[in-house]
């Protein structure tokens, strides 16, 4: 695309938005300050970097597909992430899982990890001037094969995972201190049953006690922000999930930590967007995991669909940008993994831009005066506005490819780098 044409189209779009009472320059300035937390696990299909016992199952995690070029080590993971960051506008963060420590080929079990195993990640992020976030890893381990970790009735298993949780919080706090901004630490467990469970109370009581132990040690919020993530069902937990939405929402509110809402972890008829204005009446902050579910929690690459647009509009309309942390959580092994990142990240950013370009003051005024026909008309009229001209201009000014001009870059990277991974 010709830069002069992009500039010209933006000026025309800028005038059109201004006529509707929207400052597109201000919208872009706000968008440029939004940081997304990007999942490192898209690079390698959630394989991780630790020693893996051959008897370990996936623990409720499954990346489907066999597209060539999966990252095989820490260097390739970082190389892929660095490439992704050159193709998206803005300055973002990288979300790590505990199984992505720099273990130097040593067997380090989950209850033995410590901050030294993530120092090279801290150094790498500092060099790139980006932030890091962290996730405990309660799946893909022999002590998760039973389907129960923190809620297990086996005290040895439960104690093992409690220790893992404690160490993960320590690591996250160290990361936060080093980078000078809070490290988000999220807790999700695959605990549940494929079929009938009688003692649901017992499992949930165990989970509550385990979480109490893990969260006992206080850390300053400027270094660490904790969250807990619910799920409707998963592989091996089709009938009963210990960490349900009701359980974790109640726990988060009681303990004054964040609830994490994953877009794929609810019934298809539920609106995650609608939950924001309800939860944040009682909680200061929450974490969102942006993904796309197809029929079930399949962690598809986010696209600019209605669900994502409604989510971002709800955030902006209610002025919640400073109270919500945004993270992407998806993994697709069936397509070029760099493309998966770029498509998902750009879709999320465009959805945020679309929300920022709404004539919110006019929408609020018409609704307040009972002129809902005007509200509906404004929303419909907005759908044909030239947001692509604003987006391309943002990419141009951010020195990243506008439109789909990033595709040749990915093709070249695949030819020169990914294709050589056998």
Active site residues: 188, 229, 231, 262, 265, 289, 297, 299, 329
The sign one gets for the Cα dihedral 373, 313, 259, 300 is positive
Give the side-chain half-sphere CA count within 13 A for 241.
20
Strand (E) or helix (H) holding 185: strand 183-187
Q: What angle do CA 183, 186, 190 make, to 5 degrees?
A: 160
Tokens of 413: 């990277």
The sign one gets for the Cα dihedral 283, 205, 225, 144 is negative
The C-alpha atoms of residue 361 and residue 265 are separated, in whole angstroms, by: 33
Nearest Cα to Cα of residue 233 among 245, 216, 221, 223? 245
What is the residue whose two structure tokens read 């298993």? 157
Helices (H), 118-154: 119-128
Give the side-chain half-sphere CA count within 13 A for 409.
18
The C-alpha atoms of residue 74 and residue 80 are separated, in whole angstroms, by: 10
Nearest Cα to Cα of residue 303 among 293, 317, 314, 295? 293
Task: Report the DSSP pairing between strands 240-241 and 192-193.
Answer: antiparallel
The C-alpha atoms of residue 271 and residue 63 are separated, in whole angstroms, by: 25
Give the side-chain half-sphere CA count within 13 A for 36.
27
CB 252 within 8 A of CB 283: yes
Strand (E) or helix (H) holding 74: helix 74-85
């Amino acid at each position: 695309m010709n830069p002069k044409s992009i500039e010209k189209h933006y000026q025309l779009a800028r005038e059109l938005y201004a006529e509707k009472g929207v400052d597109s320059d201000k919208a872009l300035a706000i968008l440029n300050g939004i940081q997304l937390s990007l999942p490192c696990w898209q690079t390698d299909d959630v394989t991780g970097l630790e020693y893996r016992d051959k008897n370990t199952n996936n623990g409720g995690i499954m990346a489907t597909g066999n597209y060539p070029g999966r990252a095989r080590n820490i260097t390739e993971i970082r190389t892929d992430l660095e490439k992704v960051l050159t193709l998206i506008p803005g300055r973002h963060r990288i979300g790590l899982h505990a199984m992505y420590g720099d273990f130097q080929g040593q067997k380090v079990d989950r209850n033995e990890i410590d901050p030294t195993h993530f120092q090279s990640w801290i150094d790498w992020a500092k060099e790139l001037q980006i932030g890091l976030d962290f996730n405990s890893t309660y799946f893909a381990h022999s002590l998760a094969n039973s389907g129960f970790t923190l809620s297990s009735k086996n005290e040895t298993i439960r104690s093992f995972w409690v220790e893992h949780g404690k160490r993960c919080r320590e690591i996250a706090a160290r990361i936060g201190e080093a980078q000078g901004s809070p490290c988000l630490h999220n807790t999700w467990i695959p605990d549940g049953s494929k079929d009938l469970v009688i003692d649901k109370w017992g499992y949930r009581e165990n989970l509550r006690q385990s979480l109490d132990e893990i969260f006992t040690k206080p850390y300053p919020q400027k270094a660490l922000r904790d969250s807990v993530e619910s799920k409707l069902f998963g592989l091996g937990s089709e009938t009963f999930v210990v960490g349900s939405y009701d359980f974790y929402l109640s726990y988060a509110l009681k303990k004054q930590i964040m609830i994490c809402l994953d877009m794929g972890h609810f019934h298809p008829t539920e609106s995650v967007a609608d939950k924001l204005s309800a939860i944040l009446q009682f909680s200061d902050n929450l974490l969102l995991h942006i993904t796309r579910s197809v029929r079930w929690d399949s962690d598809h690459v986010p696209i600019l669909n209605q669900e994502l647009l409604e989510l971002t509009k709800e955030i902006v309309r209610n002025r919640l940008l400073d109270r919500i942390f945004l993270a992407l959580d998806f993994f697709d092994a069936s397509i070029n993994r760099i493309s998966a990142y770029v498509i998902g990240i750009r879709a999320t950013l465009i959805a945020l831009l679309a929300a920022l370009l709404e004539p919110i003051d006019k929408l609020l005024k018409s609704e307040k005066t009972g002129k809902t026909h005007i509200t509906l008309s404004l929303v419909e009229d907005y759908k044909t506005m030239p947001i692509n001209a604003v987006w391309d201009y943002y990419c141009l000014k951010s020195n990243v490819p506008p439109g789909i001009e990033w595709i040749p870059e990915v093709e070249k990277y695949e030819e020169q780098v990914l294709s050589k991974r056998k």
